[in-house]
Structure 1
């Protein structure tokens, strides 16, 4: 498949931003949404993707991670999960109304987007390997199943990297067969505002969701209303999620018990018109703690 590319433009970003503005209005408080996103793929013993979707706990699952890219090589790390039958599991999740995204980045150091071309190459890889592309020589680990979105989970990098180019290129392309159905473009930044690793991409104003990680950040120990307000104010037409560990063992810091989340954090966070829901790290720990079960009705 060949693409005719245009350089990302401010006009394109502006038009996409206007389109998104019709889908979300900052005029009033959001309240409960019932949205719970979970990361899956970091522990072989967390159970299958199909099991996660069949649990009924989640409204989006993010597979993690595509952890090598930017230098011509690509690697998907799902912690030893078998890829056999994964395509059918993805289709099962989608049948249940649970979109499945792929997260790029992660905790390693073998990824970067140092040039516009590296970003465009990554787009080609994502599109042809996991979405609607059909290059004959491309290995598709999930067969003919199409994923629903791309998440940016960046643990290192500089503001000069070209994630904005990747975001704009992804935003140009529809996903699946339905006309006008756009790919879910999300980011999962550290809670201290701004996260410079992903700021240039977020400033395109075309992201659907931002999952703010209120954990494992020395500048932001646990949920911070001050930082939450900065995120919700900076991106008023993007849904902002409260990102938390699903148990004390899931992160070095930032655990908030379900009772405190229900009674203290969410009633305040939901005053934001662009409150989106809760993101949990991760399925392995949530399966053992039932954190999502304890908070889903309040999310």
Structure 2
């Protein structure tokens, strides 16, 4: 089930005969979309006609250059294999897992992946998401996992191939918890395998510099592109005109002076609609203006990334509008750019969060021997409308542990530094109720602009706190049969659509 070097060469020749342009990372008008979580369906549960489409449908035109399939959520799962959760497109609930693992057989996606690649698109595997099941505890564990990812998803050899004979074009690190410098060991080892075709390694840090989870890794391993999330933070697109907040120059300076790969490209990451993130959305015309201005000033600029494909398609073809906007007259990178303005002179963010707590080590700390198993390829599920949850049936989350100062009061649970909160959720701290403006973790109410002080606590308890025990991140889902399990993977944005009425759990946004 592994493509040979001969077949890869044949595919390359076939593309050239068809006049298909290969992906060119050096351009300044590339676009990247995350796919797999149906973020639009999560935020607009009744509008089933606009739920996420099958992957191949997004490749019908040239609006999207790169797809990041999201997410590989757990690195070390049962059976010595990782766990892949593509919402109800493909998961261990909707498709048969390999052996005793929770890695689903998503081989029905192979044809879609190859169709997109044949049209000059790159298709990456995005690893991580908003859960803490993606980290390493030793260098050997990190390098061993790189070997395993190569065999399972890229150009290696394994009888266990979640996407059948499709060979992905690389990996994307979207690490939102459990960040460790050992990811540099993972990237470096993975690159030792790259041969036979062009492979890419990308990352998706938050705009706050340096990124809390990937900062050291970015400084010590080679990345081809960095999709900076300019949303859900004070340095987001909503503050583009604020020189004390907007910090693309800081990332450009990193690319030129610190990154091991001096040709690394920096992308502006944006929400694809108002429901895709808590803050940072700008319309495609404004985003195109920002992108072209950035391209003319910073030679590291590579294009625009957005969350996600489903949101973009439903938002009046945001994907097409932004591609057309940055392509028309898209400037080439300046050959001799003026010195970049890396950051505001005193870019102190409004918050001074404590460092994140160390994640618990994975239960199975190293890749075990793979069980040879080759389940029959599963047919592609027909897209179906998803049953929508009744909010009144939602089970309250376990109460968060009390913070050092102040406990639960009035209408909100006590603020918990280890919990994650999304826009609109509340927490109590020092006798006041605070409402989160966007995704946040470990930012103390009263000291960070993400929290709005709603005044003294009242006496009533509401279910607006963080949901802590779920599996994923906010990118949405469908294009397949409904899943029977709650899914909470997402990206600092809108929730992910998932599950039945009985099992529905609100997902946190990314």
Q: TM-score, with normalisation over the residues of structure 1?
A: 0.81
Q: Cα offset for 1:109?
A: 2.0
- 2:208 alignment partner in structure 1: 192
Given candidates 81, 91, 107, the residue that maps to 2:89 is: 81
- 2:75 alignment partner in structure 1: 69
Q: Is the 8 A contact 2:235 2:247 kept in 1?
A: no
Cα distance per residue 1:154-200 (max 9 Å; x no partner): 11124x4410001101222225x34xx3x211000000111031122
Structural mapping, 1:63-212, within 5 Å? 63-70=69-76, 72-82=80-90, 83-135=106-158, 138-158=159-179, 160-175=180-195, 177-178=196-197, 181=198, 183-204=199-220, 206-212=222-228
- 1:17 alignment partner in structure 2: none
Distance in 1 separating the partners of 2:238 and 2:148:
36
Cα distance change on mapping 1:283 and 1:174 into 2, 3 Å: same
Compare the two structures and name the one with the higher helix fraction: 1
Structural mapping, 1:267-278, within 5 Å? 267-270=292-295, 271-278=297-304
Cα distance per residue 1:268-288 (max 9 Å; x no partner): 211211110000100110110
User: Larger radius of gyration, structure 1 or 2?
Assistant: 2
Distance in 2 separating the partners of 1:245 and 1:69:
27
Q: Is the 8 A contact 2:145 2:186 kept in 1?
A: yes
Distance in 2 separating the partners of 1:206 and 1:111:
20
- 2:4 alignment partner in structure 1: none
Q: Is the 8 A contact 1:67 1:111 kept in 2?
A: yes
Cα distance per residue 1:5-55 (max 9 Å; x no partner): xxxxxxxxxxxxxxxxxx99xxxxx9x733111000012731111111224
Which structure carries more relative contact order (alpha carbon 8 Å, separation 6+)?
A: 1
Q: Cα offset for 1:139?
A: 1.4
Q: TM-score, with normalisation over the residues of structure 2?
A: 0.49
Distance in 2 separating the partners of 1:222 and 1:121:
41
Distance in 2 separating the partners of 1:56 and 1:85:
23
Q: Is the 8 A contact 1:40 1:64 kept in 2?
A: yes
Q: Which moved more, 1:289-298 or 1:81-90?
A: 81-90
Q: Cα offset for 1:145?
A: 1.1
Gaps of 5+ in 2: 1-23, 42-50, 91-105, 257-262, 327-510
- Structure 2 SS opposite 1:139: coil
Cα distance change on mapping 1:173 and 1:269 into 2, 3 Å: same
- Structure 2 SS opposite 1:201: helix
Q: Cα offset for 1:218?
A: 4.9
Given candidates 39, 46, 51, the residue that maps to 2:52 is: 46
Gaps of 5+ in 1: 1-22, 25-29
Q: Cα offset for 1:126?
A: 0.8
Distance in 2 separating the partners of 1:261 and 1:229:
17
Q: How many residues align?
A: 263
Q: Cα offset for 1:58?
A: 0.4
Cα distance per residue 1:47-102 (max 9 Å; x no partner): 11111122431010010000101465410111111435311111111110001000
Point out 4+ residue stretches in structure 1 off by more than 6 angstroms: none
Alignment of 1:260 onto 2:286? yes
Cα distance change on mapping 1:97 and 1:252 into 2, 3 Å: same
Q: Cα offset for 1:223?
A: 5.5
